[in-house]
Structures are given as structure tokens and as C-alpha cells.
Amino acid sequence: MRINIDLNNYENLLKLKAGDSCLLNGIIYTARDAAHKRLDQLIKNGEKLPFDMKDFNVYYAGPTPAKEGEIIGSCGPTTSARMDKFTPYFISLGQRVMIGKGERSDEVIEACKKYKAVYFCATGGAGALLSLSVKSSEVIAFPELGCESIKKMTIENFPVVVGIDTK
């Protein structure tokens, strides 16, 4: 049985356990390597971010362009470990949800426990299927990065498994 999770209800995240199968609903932001580097620079330079880092839900993905009549192209997860050098700091600023694939560093695991964040694993190789859960998508930052720009997406029944819980 899958647990329906409203990403706007933080209390739901605190009850999850590693291995739980979930359907996510709410707002997420795509961000891969290049976007994380840019966000880190904005923060270090004291510049305004394109969204509020508090309760930031990130999907490590670089969706392909939409075909005519579609909201988004293929939207599969990328390897999360590539963002590990930024993640503990971003979690300390309020990031609460990460979606990606693969293992995470000990530092990310400790940050999840300390700041009560959750890492969800999405199925790699299923980008076309995952794109069906995307109900809206708009580029909100770094359009020059193309597929790796930051997109704000609304998702419904996005299938994931809890990889790291808050405990």
C-alpha cells in the first residue's frame, strides 16, 4: 500500500520510515549539479534566491523539453550523490525533501536526522512514466541551463520510496 503525502503538510514527513512506498503531491523544484552550484553562489554572495529555501522540495532531475501537447518531457531522477557537497548546508537552511536515485553520504544522512529532512528514491529509467505525474511546469531560474534550469512543478501521485527518513 502506498502512502499519499501532501508535501505542504510537514508533519506527514515526520511519520515516514525508510522503505515506505509513497505517492507525493504538491510543489517540487528540479535542480541538478549546475543549478546547485549556482544556488550555492547566490547564497554565498547574499543574493536573492528564486524561491524560499525554507521547506524547499528538490527533485534531482533535468526534464527534457515537452513535445507538443505535453506538460514536460521525460522526467527521470539523476544520481543524488553529485549534490551531496551542497545538501547538508541546504538542509540546514530549510530544505525538507529531496527526490533522486542512489545512495547518499553520511553527512547527508546526519543532516536529515538533525534537521528532519526526507530523501525519497524515484525509479531510474522511468522518466517517461514519472512525467505523467507532473501537472504543471515552469522555468523559474537559470533558463540558460536548458534541461538543467530550475523548474517549479506541481506533481500528483508521484511514486517514490523513502530512502532516508527523519530518524
Cell of 21: 512506498
Type and span of the H or E element at 42: helix 33-44
Nearest to residue 160, comparing CAs of 11, 26, 9, 54? 26
Asked if 99 and 24 count as a contact pair (C-beta separation under 8 A), the reply is: yes
Asked if 107 and 129 count as a contact pair (C-beta separation under 8 A), the reply is: no
Asked if 54 and 78 count as a contact pair (C-beta separation under 8 A), the reply is: no
> DSSP character for 67?
P
Among all residues, which ones are annotated catalytic? 36
Beta-carbon contacts of residue 88 (< 8 Å; ≥ 6 apart): 107, 108, 110, 111
